[in-house]
């Protein structure tokens, strides 16, 4: 049976840029006429996505699949861990919830998942020409190596050559790369076929005197110095969003509340791309100020984050802004918080069964959590406020159901009402709300008119079209910096 060639990208640490390098490689292989699929055996992320089959997977592999021109498939990310506390996660295998597990229990359990990981990989390898594999964290985490299923352990199982990337932007890249190689076992070192220095700002000639000694000490060639590329591509599988703000001079100020367990913050990437909208993340009342729009995002721990919102003083600040007419939008967990009450009869949220929490009371809605998880892709049309008339194409991922007494936020394609609206306050379960571009444009136009601004000629591209442009930009930068001939030889060997 024909089997795909593969290449694996590992990093010296979390945040070394593995996800973007894999995204770039997926795009390059597609440009070179190859059918390519991404793969990450285990992803820890609060950014997730629902496939057309109604299954849940990590957002990073979705982005890589889009760069490769492939349909996102849970086989590309067979295990997804969604942290629900500092010591435990919801475990999702092949898109389905297997349960909540503390870290110690999961480390014992994960060995049982190896056959399922390999079945997913082998199935993809039979359908595609190239598999781009992403590692996690660092392969030199020697306390975790014995039962590794995502770095060198996986590379051994699927016989993958490895590119090892170090992050020069954080400093100490030579020590990162040398130290990582030095801590590996001989057979693991032999799998590393090339080193990559990532996120370099400046003239690569400055690094040249250090490259030959690094190659000599590690016995591995440096295949490229990749520049720091400024691209707007949905963030990798990090547990917290980037806090860099869009241009402060933009006239529309949208404030997203940075909840402790914020999830799916990529929902707001299309807003960031609008030339008149500045998006910033805030976690204290004094930072909130007087924005033109307040957004309560999704969260993995709605009740805990609602208590945090209350204790931080942000609840009072949001209520004051809403009373003054400032639009407030809640998505998923943020929508649940905006209602009158949240009940957890079975302890689904990880607390004591029977817990009842008062919501912000801005929407006539009540939420009851239950063990069954809703995962579905939906289309519809917005009905409420400045969003009215916008075509929507998104997905729902949530525990529990919300009973609404007031007006709906949108009408789904099957005729069902979804979400809730009351005056200047709006709530919906739809992730990807802004992806079509229509909700973005209508909201931005309304906020501009409210401030006496003319929004003419500022409609952004759809999120998909913009992402495609950014994929090409990223691929051009990486292709220009990386020895792709050497990469192809690695895969052939």
Q: What Å distances lie between residue 302 and 262, 307, 334, 460, CA to CA?
A: 9, 9, 8, 32
Exposed, middle or buried: residue 247 (CB in 10 Å: 0-12, 13-18, 19+)? exposed
CA–CA–CA angle 160, 133, 468 (5° rounding): 140
Beta bridge partners of 118: none
36, 332, 410, 448: which is the annotated catalytic residue?
A: 332
36, 431, 448, 463: which is the annotated catalytic residue?
A: 431
Active site residue 274: no
- Which secondary-structure segment (H or E) carries 22? helix 18-31
Q: What Å distances lie between residue 11 and 5, 150, 164, 213, 418, CA to CA?
A: 21, 12, 5, 20, 42
**Contact yes or no for 420/365 (Cβ under 8 A):** yes
- Which secondary-structure segment (H or E) carries 310? helix 302-312
Here the tokens at position 473 are 């930009």
Q: In sequence order, which residues have a C-beta less than 8 Å from that of residue 490 and are 6 or more positions away? A: 7, 161, 163, 193, 194
Smallest Cα–Cα separation from 8: which of 169, 163, 129, 121?
163
**Contact yes or no for 244/216 (Cβ under 8 A):** no
Active site residue 398: no
Q: What Å distances lie between residue 55 and 21, 76, 84, 115, 128, CA to CA?
A: 26, 12, 19, 19, 21
Here the tokens at position 71 are 């349909």
**Rounded Cα distance, 191 and 490, in Å:** 10
93-101, long-range: CB < 8 A, 24+ apart: 94/55, 94/120, 95/51, 95/53, 95/54, 95/55, 95/56, 95/57, 95/375, 96/55, 96/56, 97/373, 100/350
Active-site residue set: 332, 431
């Amino acid at each position: 049976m024909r089997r795909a060639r593969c290449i694996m990208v590992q990093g010296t640490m979390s945040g070394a840029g593995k996800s973007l390098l894999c995204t770039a490689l997926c795009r390059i292989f597609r440009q070179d006429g190859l059918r390519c699929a991404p793969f990450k055996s285990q992803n820890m992320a609060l950014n997730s996505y629902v496939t057309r089959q109604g299954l849940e997977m990590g957002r990073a592999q979705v982005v890589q699949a889009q760069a490769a021109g492939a349909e996102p498939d849970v086989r590309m990310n067979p295990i997804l861990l969604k942290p629900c506390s500092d010591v435990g996660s919801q475990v999702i295998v092949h898109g389905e919830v297997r349960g909540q597990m503390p870290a110690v229990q999961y480390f014992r359990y994960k060995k049982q998942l190896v056959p399922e990981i390999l079945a997913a990989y082998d199935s993809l390898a039979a359908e595609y020409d190239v598999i781009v594999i992403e590692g996690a964290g660092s392969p030199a985490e020697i306390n975790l190596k014995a039962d590794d299923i995502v770095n060198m352990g996986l590379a051994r199982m699927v016989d993958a050559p490895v590119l090892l990337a170090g992050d020069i932007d954080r400093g100490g890249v030579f020590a990162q790369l040398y130290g990582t190689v030095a801590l590996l076992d001989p057979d693991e070192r032999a799998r590393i076929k090339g080193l990559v220095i990532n996120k370099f700002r400046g003239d690569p000639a400055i690094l040249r005197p250090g490259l030959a000694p690094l190659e000599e000490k590690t016995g591995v060639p440096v295949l490229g110095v990749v520049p720091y590329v400024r691209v707007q591509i949905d963030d990798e599988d990090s547990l917290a969003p980037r806090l860099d703000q869009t241009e402060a001079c933009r006239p529309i100020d949208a404030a997203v509340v940075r909840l402790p367990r914020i999830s799916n913050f990529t929902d707001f990437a299309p807003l960031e791309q609008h030339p008149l909208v500045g998006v910033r993340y805030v976690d204290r009342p004094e930072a909130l100020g007087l924005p033109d729009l307040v957004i309560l995002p999704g969260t993995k721990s709605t009740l805990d984050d609602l208590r945090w919102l209350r204790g931080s003083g942000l609840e009072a600040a949001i209520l004051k802004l809403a009373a003054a007419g400032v639009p407030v939008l809640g998505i998923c967990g943020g929508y649940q918080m905006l209602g009158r009450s949240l009940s957890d009869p079975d302890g689904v949220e990880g607390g004591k069964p029977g817990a009842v929490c008062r919501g912000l009371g801005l929407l006539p809605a009540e939420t009851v959590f239950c063990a069954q998880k809703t995962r579905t892709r939906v289309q519809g049309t917005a009905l409420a406020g400045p969003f009215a008339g916008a075509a929507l194409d998104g997905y729902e991922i949530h525990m529990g159901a919300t009973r609404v007494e007031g007006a709906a936020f949108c009408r789904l394609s099957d005729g069902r009402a979804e979400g809730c609206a009351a005056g200047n306050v709006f709530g919906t379960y739809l992730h990807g709300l802004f992806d079509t571009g229509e909700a973005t444009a209508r909201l931005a136009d309304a906020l501009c008119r409210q401030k006496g601004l003319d929004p003419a000629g500022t409609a952004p591209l759809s999120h998909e079209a913009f992402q495609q442009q950014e994929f090409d930009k990223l691929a051009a930068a990486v292709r220009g910096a990386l020895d792709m001939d050497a990469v192809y030889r690695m895969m052939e060997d």
